[in-house]
Amino acid sequence: MMVKALRIGSELAGVRVGRRNARRFFPKDITEIELQLDHLRIECGLAPDFWSSQPEIHDPRLSLWLAAKDARATPCRAPIKYRMTPSGKNSFRIEPAVRAIGQRQRRTTRSFPVVRLEPV
């Protein structure tokens, strides 16, 4: 599943899982999950409103790990996406989502026409 880094103000605060992913991958009877962040394993609690209104995972250690992965200096850009894959019962691995080789990149200069210069 794809998740997004969650910012509160200028600080990274956790990850947003999304309602659909929360219902699909997280049974309602669990209160904690294990996250694998590179070589680090942490246990994070899930809030009671995780499945209804706030499908987010908050933990200070997760926030520090996200900040280390987020090399951008400006907090106003779109949140970084991460891949969160199940790795056991109530256990997930989080890693930055990497663009697949050969996948087309979005064109960022859509409003500007392409100008080709030819030698005179």
Whether the predicted pLDDT of 110 surpasses 70: no
> What is the domain partition of the chain in residue ranges?
2-96
pLDDT band at 24 (very low <50, low <70, confident <90, very high): very high
**Which residue(s) pair with 32 in the sheet?**
45
State whether the Cα torsion 82-6-77-108 is positive or negative: positive
For the entire predicted model, the pTM comes to 0.73
CA of residue 68 relative to chain centroid, distance: 13
Whether the predicted pLDDT of 95 surpasses 50: yes
**pLDDT tens by residue, 41-71:** 999 999 999 998 999 999 999 999 988 887 6
Average pLDDT over residues 61-87: 78
**pLDDT tens by residue, 3-17:** 998 888 777 889 999
Residue bearing tokens 């400006």: 74
Question: What is the Cα–Cα distance from 16 to 7, expressed in whole angstroms?
Answer: 9
Question: What is the Cα–Cα distance from 107 to 110, expressed in whole angstroms?
Answer: 6
pLDDT band at 75 (very low <50, low <70, confident <90, very high): low
Question: What is the Cα–Cα distance from 91 to 36, expressed in whole angstroms?
Answer: 8
Which residues, 6+ apart, have CB-to-CB distance to 62 below 8 Å?
Answer: 14, 15, 35, 37, 42, 44
Question: What is the Cα–Cα distance from 56 to 51, expressed in whole angstroms?
Answer: 9
Whether the predicted pLDDT of 19 surpasses 80: yes
DSSP designation for 114: -
pLDDT number for residue 114: 56
**Two tokens at 54?**
């706030």
